[in-house]
Amino acid sequence: NQDYHFGLKEHEGISELFDCD
Amino acid sequence: VPQTPIRAAMNSIQQLRVELNSTSDQPSSNLQVYFKNCTVDPSEEITKRVEELSQVFSQRFAQAVGQRCEGLGRKRFNLGVQLYYKVMESMLKSEEKRLSVQNFSKLLNNAAFHTSLLACALEVVLATYVGNSLKNGGFGRGCGASDSIETDLCFPWILDVFQLHAFDFYKVIESFIKAEPTLKHDMMKHLEHCEHVIMESLAWRGDSPLFDLLKQSREEGTGEQAEPPAT
């Protein structure tokens, strides 16, 4: 999956994206 | 043996089935541990939601493809559910490692998260079955063509079926790709294409939760000034 442009930063994950702790 | 679009699609379907061969359409024991570690156990809600969405999906699938195909819709849905649980487990393992926590109560009790994740898994399954039209130009051209009746099920069909905001669906895509390293190149490009469609148009529809977030961001004074919705 190297061709995909990953945009999330190190400190971000699915928990943050759904407004979770 | 020459590679034909049909053969390529058959290979992709076969690969997907092989990858999901060892997975179940029920939560694994690892997932059940994550559920039990939650402050509020989400198990029942998750099972109930999957059952409800199964009904909706099968009905809409039959409407789109033909009433005789409801059973086929259930098989596609079950493949999607297998992928949903597989990716969920992988995501939670990554989050456990990243955050050093085991209680994901807020995330696992978030309906938008589950519906988006299941929709993304189903999009992968549905797009695998129309693989030949993806190769002929992806969402923009492939889905407009009449080369297969199943092209009617192309993105953003699943958002309409699940009454899901494109903005929420967008949020799971990157984590989904990270959590599923066996995802084929074509499928990764397809999901990337879905991202572009959302970013360029779907997320900017009048009822998008994006506007509330932009407003909230403006009121909190963080980030750049948001453009008005019309713009």
Its ipTM equals 0.85
The DSSP code for B41 is: -
Q: Which helix (H) or strand (E) holds B10?
A: helix B5-19
CA B92, B98, B103, B108: dihedral to nearest 10 degrees? -40
Task: Tell me which chain B residue has its CA closest to the CA of residue A8.
Answer: B174
Instruction: Tell me which residue of B80, B172, B79 sits closest to B121, measured CA to CA.
Output: B80
Instruction: Tell me which residue of B88, B90, B57, B87 sits closest to B74, measured CA to CA.
Output: B57
- Tokens matching residue B50: 């999957």
| Pairwise CA distance, residues B170 & B35, whole Å | 24
Q: In Å, how far is B150's CA from the nearest CA of chain A?
A: 26
pLDDT digits (tens, 9 = 90+) for B106-138: 999 999 999 999 999 999 999 998 864 444 444
* B188·A8 Cβ contact <8 A: no
The DSSP code for B42 is: -
Selected residue of B98, B183, B193, B212 to mutate for chain A interface (largest A Cβ count, 10 A): B98
Distance linking the first and last C-alpha atoms of chain B = 52
Least confident stretch, B31-35, B72-76, B130-134: B130-134
What was the pLDDT predicted at B224? 60
Give the residue-averaged pLDDT of B156-181: 96
